[in-house]
Amino acid sequence: MKYFKRFLRYVLYILLLPISYAFISFLLGMITVNKTQHEELMENEIYLTTNGVHLDIVLPIEQISSELREDLIFNANTEYVAFGWGDKDFYLNTPTWGDLTFSNAFNAMFLNSSTLMHITRYEQKRAKWIKVRLSKNQLRKLNENIHNTFQLDEDNSKIILKDKGYGPNDDFYRAKGSYSIFKTCNTWVNTVFKKSTLKSCLWTPFDFALLKKYQ
């Protein structure tokens, strides 16, 4: 009986970890940062998109700064570009959710791992994208914060992983930072928004908390 009680205690401790993580994430996600926005200055539009788990920031190509645009590849018909950040191994080895393995998920969430920027090109706007209005100054800061996430080589050029994209409309580039349960792909998007003085969450590892600020 003594060992059984100890076993139950350990099980409860293990269960409390994800429950506490979810509760804290939900609580901090509800707290809005940069809540006050000057609507009359919001003359530009960008977008948020999600695959149900992972957020990307989508910019119309004419709103991408020359600094951020440098070294990126565009097609002749590119009108929008999505920027995402995430775990290197997860990105490269999990092109679809059907490719997800326990090992990939565990390593991404619990080990500090290398990261990549994922760039996706679109020829037209998608209906499910969430519109975000922002000022000229916020757009400038947003471009700077996205650009500063790219890892640069000795020539200050972005480092592309050749022939590693999922198809003809996307590419991967080396990025700064490590991925963990405390710094996820969605945390990155939220942090970029926060640094750009856009409405954002105090902290969130999930996509829905930031999306709700704009829906």
Q: How many CB atoms lie within 10 A of CB 136?
A: 12
Residue 118 CA, distance from chain mean position: 9
Q: Is 126 exposed, middle or buried (0-12, 13-18, 19+ CB in 10 A)?
A: exposed
User: Could you give the CA distance from residue 68 to residue 57 in angstroms, rounded to a whole number?
Assistant: 13
Return the pLDDT at 130. Answer: 98
Return the pLDDT at 66. Answer: 97
Asked if residue 204 lies in contact with residue 29, where contact means CB atoms within 8 angstroms, the answer is: yes
Return the pLDDT at 105. Answer: 53
pTM of structure: 0.88
Asked if residue 58 lies in contact with residue 80, where contact means CB atoms within 8 angstroms, the answer is: yes
pLDDT in tens, the chain (215 residues): 655 556 555 555 566 677 888 899 999 999 999 998 887 788 999 999 999 889 999 999 999 999 999 999 999 999 999 999 999 988 888 655 455 555 555 555 556 679 999 999 999 999 999 999 999 999 999 999 999 999 999 999 999 999 999 999 999 999 999 999 999 999 999 999 999 999 999 999 999 999 999 99
Return the pLDDT at 68. Answer: 98
**Nearby residues of 202 by Cβ (< 8 Å), 6 or more positions away:** 28, 29, 31, 32, 33
